[in-house]
Amino acid sequence: MQVICKEVHGARPLGSDVGNDRAAEDFGFPLPRFAVNLQTGFSDKDIALHFNPRFEEGGYVVCNTKQRGCWGPEERKMQMPFQKGKPFELCFLVQSSEFKVMVNKNFFVQYAHRVPFHRVDTISITGPLQLSYINFQPPGIWPPNSAPMTQTVIHTVHSAPGQMFPNPGIPPMVYPNPTYPMPFFTSIPGGLYPSKSIIVSGTVLPSAKRFHINLRSGSDIAFHLNPRFDENVVVRNTQINSSWGSEERSLPRKMPFTRGTSFSVWIMCESHCLRVAVDGQHLFEYFHRMKNLPAINNLEVAGDVQLTHVQT
């Protein structure tokens, strides 16, 4: 399941548990807060998990549950894992007794279930955010007896305080879960051109050896991105007339892909190269070996991954 949204949503009161929000906004001082609610239906009366980072007082995160319109006692984590204007990945692991929350792949907090988690069927996000997308991972990719029952991954960019405007926001919505068969093939409308971006997100299988992302032009492969876990390397190459060119293997940092974890690859086309980022961090540039960019109009993904989001 994915949600793709590039608008910046304005700040608004996040519920009666943040009672001083209204007073602060009335005096013209919008507070930099956002919230993710895992809830029942479109109403905000029943929220199993309210995850609410607050940037005042040095920064902290509030977790809470609302039942029949009434908030329970807050649980506060007096740390702030988010930075204004910096992209982040927020992951909720739903286990039998608790939610576990990961920020940028690092464990942040756990929150014991106060209501049965199977009541949750809606996710609501409010606040000054530019939301890239949301995906929902099924449980089948995780090792038995050691895994979350399900996983929700939110990729987003927190907007600057100056971008906060009063806005009633967008009501929460539920989207169907798409199926990405493997190998996966799809077209790139219009082919490549400067400023064109492609996003491929998924989860590496726990026993993965290799997978690849190919940008193709007919039978040729203009760009071959090939993480190899058996060699602990990310190979890049081009294949023309069934012949491979010279491999590129060097990276400025360690292997960015890990078995059993989610990833997001962002490929940005520029006039002279492709810029590739993984999980929001620039990884490398790949200079074009095939110059006819519009002819590079197909995407292929294959190997030991499960896809959760593809944008061409």
CA-nearest of 253, 250, 245 to 288 is 245
Name, of 27-36, 99-108, 264-273, the range with top average pLDDT. Answer: 264-273
Q: Do 2-163 and 184-311 fold alike per CATH?
A: yes
Give the per-residue pLDDT at 88.
82
Give the per-residue pLDDT at 152.
53
Confirm if 37 and 133 have CB atoms less than 8 A apart.
no
What is the residue-averaged pLDDT of the chain?
Answer: 78
Task: Report pLDDT digits (tens) over 196-214.
Answer: 889 898 889 999 999 999 9
Q: CA 96 from chain center: how many Å?
A: 23
Region 275-304: mean pLDDT is 93
20 vs 105, more confident: 105
- Can you tell me whether residue 274 is helix, strand or coil? strand
52 vs 15, more confident: 52
What's the rounded Cα separation, in Å, for the pair 282 and 83?
Answer: 18
Using pLDDT thresholds of 50, 70 and 90, give the confidence band for residue 125.
confident
Question: 2-163 has which fold?
Answer: Jelly Rolls (2.60.120)
**Overall pTM surpassing 0.75 (yes/no):** no
CA atoms within 13 Å, Cβ hemisphere of 214: 21
Helix (H) or strand (E) holding 87: strand 87-94
Q: Is the model's pLDDT at 6 over the cut of 70?
A: no
237 vs 98, more confident: 237
**Domain ranges for the chain:** 2-163, 184-311
Question: 184-311 has which fold?
Answer: Jelly Rolls (2.60.120)
Region 253-277: mean pLDDT is 91
Task: Report pLDDT digits (tens) over 78-122.
Answer: 999 988 877 888 888 888 888 988 888 788 999 999 998 888 888
Residue with tokens 């200079």: 287
Give the per-residue pLDDT at 210.
97
